[in-house]
Amino acid sequence: MNENDLKAKGAEEPDWYAGLRQRPELGKGFSAELMRNIRKRAVQSERRHGARFRTKAVVGAGLACLVAAAIWLGGSNGWPAFLPGIGSEKSINSGKADSGWREYWSGGKKLLESVAGGDFAAGQQNGIWWNFYTPFEQIKDSRIRIDAIHQSGWKQTELTETVFSERGMEYVWKEGSKENFSRISSRFALPLAGQWRFDIYIDGNLWGDVEYDVPDAVWAESPTFPSGAYMLRGVEGRVGIIDPGFIAGKGNKAMWHFWGNDKEIQGAVSIYGVQKGSSVPLLLFESSETGGPNNGADAHMPSLMTMPTPGLWRLMAYIDGTLFGSVVVNVK
Looking at per-residue pLDDT, the higher value among 177 and 282 belongs to 282
Residue 216's alpha-carbon distances to 230, 279, 315, 319, in angstroms, are: 30, 11, 15, 22
Pairing assessment for the beta strands 128-132 and 224-227 based on DSSP bridges: unpaired
pLDDT bracket for residue 233 (50, 70, 90): very high
What's the burial of 176, exposed, middle or buried (CB within 10 Å: 0-12/13-18/19+)? Answer: exposed
What confidence score (pLDDT) does residue 272 get?
Answer: 96
What confidence score (pLDDT) does residue 177 get?
Answer: 66
Could you tell me the pTM of the whole model?
0.68
Q: Where in the chain is the domain with CATH 2.60.40.1930?
A: 3-214
CATH of domain 224-331: 2.60.40.3830
CA–CA separation, 213 and 93 (whole Å) = 11
Q: What angle do CA 191, 193, 194 make, to 5 degrees?
A: 130
CA–CA separation, 114 and 135 (whole Å) = 17
Q: Where in the chain is the domain with CATH 2.60.40.3830?
A: 224-331
CB-based contacts of 121, cutoff 8 Å, min separation 6: 193, 214, 215, 216, 217, 218
Instruction: Please tell me the class of the 3-214 domain.
Output: mainly beta
**E strands present in the chain:** 56-58, 101-106, 109-116, 128-132, 143-150, 155-163, 169-172, 181-186, 194-202, 205-214, 224-227, 230-235, 239-241, 252-258, 269-275, 282-287, 299-305, 311-319, 322-331
Looking at per-residue pLDDT, the higher value among 173 and 71 belongs to 173
Q: Is 88 helix (H, G, I), strand (E, B) or coil?
A: helix
Q: Do 191 and 154 contact (CB within 8 A), yes or no? A: yes
> Model confidence over 33-85: pLDDT tens digits?
544 454 444 444 444 333 322 233 333 333 333 332 332 233 322 222 332 33
Residue range 10-27: mean pLDDT, rounded? 36
Residue range 294-312: mean pLDDT, rounded? 96
CB atoms within 10 A of CB 271: 23
Residue 48's alpha-carbon distances to 34, 40, 42, 104, in angstroms, are: 20, 12, 10, 30
Looking at per-residue pLDDT, the higher value among 219 and 5 belongs to 219
CB-based contacts of 247, cutoff 8 Å, min separation 6: 331, 332
